[in-house]
Amino acid sequence: MAQNSLAEAVPLSPEPQQRPNIEQPQRQARPQSNPQRNPQSQKLPVSKFEKCLMTVCGLILATLMVFVVSSKIAMSNAQHELQSVNSNVTAIQNRNTNAQQEINELQSRTRLDKIAKKQGLTLQNDRIRNVNK
Q: Where are the domains of the chain?
A: 69-122
Diameter of the chain measured on Cα atoms = 150
pLDDT at 109 over 60: yes
103 within 8 A of 111, measured Cβ to Cβ: no
Rounded Cα distance, 45 and 40, in Å: 12
pLDDT higher than threshold 60 for residue 48: yes
The average confidence (pLDDT) of the chain is 82
- Look at the chain and count its residues: 133
Q: What is the pLDDT of residue 130?
A: 76
| Residue 98 banded pLDDT, cuts 50, 70, 90 | very high
